[in-house]
Each structure stands twice: as C-alpha cells, then as structure tokens.
Amino acid sequence: MAKENKQDNKPEKKLDKKPVHQQEKKNKEIHQKAQQSSVVLAHGAVAPLPKDYKVRLKDAYSAQVLPALMKDFNLASPMAAPKIKKIVINIGVSEAKENIQALDLAKEDLTLISGQTPQIRRAKKSISNFKLREGMPIGVRVTLRGIRMFEFLDRFISLSVPRIRDFQGFDPRLFDGRGNLNIGLKEHHIFPEVNMEKSPKARGMNITFVTTAGDNKKGQALLEYLGLPFKKPKVEQQRA
C-alpha cells in the first residue's frame, strides 16, 4: 500500500510544479514589457527602449523618402541625400527665478513629451532690468537623436500638429538658409502626453530640426516627404 501511495503522489507533484513555473515566467515577461513601455519610471528616470523597437518613420525614410530625394536632386549616392541629424526642444521658464516649482513642472512635461530627461539651462549673463543673475535657471532643453528622434517626429506630425489652433501649414521662411527648420509653438498642450490638471498654464516652446541638407530647398523637400505640412505659395492671378 505504501508503494502505491508513493507512485500515486509522484505525478501529482509534477503536474503542480509546471503551471506554477510557467505562471512565474509569464509574470516576469509582463512586468518587463510594462517597464519598457512606460516612458518615465517612478523615481523620474527614463526607461530604455526595447532592442527590437522599430519606428515606422525611420523605415519609411529608407524605403520611400530616400529614393524620392535621390531622384528629385539627381544624387548618385544615398550618402549624399539629406537626412535629419537631431531635434532640439527648448522651453523657457521665466518665472523659475521666483518659483522653482515651475521649472520642475516644465522639466516633467518635457520629459513626457520627448521621452528623455531634459537639461536645465542657466543664464550666462546678469541683466539687472530683468532681475536676472548669472547662473539662474531659466529653461529646459533636450536633444533627440536616433530612434527617439524619429519616434518624436512621428508623434509630432500625426498627433500634435493637427491640434494646433488655426493651423494652415508651417511657413517655409522659418528655415535658416542651411536646411534647418525652427518652429515656435505658443502652447505645449498640443502634445497629448501633457496632463492639463498638473500644468494648466500654457507654455511656449521652440523646436529645431537640424538636417544635413545644406540649403532650404533640400531641407524642405526632406521634411515634406516625411509628412511635415508647409504653406503653399499663393498663386497671383494674372491681370487681364
């Protein structure tokens, strides 16, 4: 009888161990995916992107935009085609000299918008008329490159630009002559990542798209193929 009980108990133990082990693996995988998908962790650090993460705009550049640019400008090598080098986002916080909490709030908003921890910018000179001293914090800045750059550009074009009030396209005159575009926004609330309850005050921001185009024509063509809308030139009616 004792032998029969031992044999009966053996398969029951094996059946109990397998599902528990599988559940633990699943729980670990779910926990890891949740950590990777979240942009900001509890202590304020930015979570790294997954290794297999792919941005559709980056794939579209190599598959569609690059051949189109080579054809339009008669380029022999893909290395000569213009591309985006980096994106720089600046938010000025003038009230930070009196209320340091405003700077922390702007830093948190920019972290959510860009997915990267920003850098605090300080005054380089003292200006008595503005009650400004050298070294005072006056804004936050972040520089995006690589995957995060394409991921931000994709979200900016598809989600944020349609939320701009009375938007009719960006002015081509915003280029600096070397193919770099500087955009000024009046409200940072156009980004869906910003919590309106925590930051009800609208803040202006500046976004700079740095390219390797070298001139405005190539820079505008690059950003247009990527999906950034520009104002169309008005056609003057010929007088009879």
pLDDT along the chain (240 residues), means of 10: 49 46 56 44 54 81 92 90 94 78 87 89 75 77 92 92 90 92 91 86 92 92 93 61
Residues 60 and 155 in one domain: yes
Residues 68 and 184 in one domain: yes
CATH code at position 94: 3.30.1440.10
Q: Look at residue 2 and tell me if it is in a domain.
A: yes
Q: Look at residue 191 and tell me if it is in a domain.
A: yes
Q: Look at residue 238 and tell me if it is in a domain.
A: no
SS3 118: coil
Q: What is the DSSP letter of 177?
A: S
Residues 11 and 128 in one domain: no
E strand or H helix that includes residue 211: strand 205-211
Q: Look at residue 240 and tell me if it is in a domain.
A: no
- Rounded to whole angstroms, how far apart are CA atoms 89 and 150? 14
Domain count along the chain: 2
CA 145 vs. chain centroid, Å, equals: 9
Residues 183 and 79 in one domain: yes
Q: Look at residue 156 and tell me if it is in a domain.
A: yes
Residues 141 and 171 in one domain: yes
Report field, pTM of the whole predicted structure over 0.95: no
SS3 22: helix
Q: Look at residue 49 and tell me if it is in a domain.
A: no
Residue owning tokens 């600046």:
90
Which runs of consecutive H residues, i.e. helices, occur in the chain? 2-37, 56-60, 66-72, 100-114, 146-155, 216-226
Domain limits for position 8: 1-37
What local confidence, expressed as pLDDT, does residue 233 receive?
75
Residues 8 and 99 in one domain: no
- Alpha-carbon dihedral sign for residues 97, 100, 106, 110: positive
E strand or H helix that includes residue 206: strand 205-211
- Rounded to whole angstroms, how far apart are CA atoms 214 and 211? 8
Residues 85 and 166 in one domain: yes
Six-digit token string for 111: 């972290």
Six-digit token string for 78: 């893909």
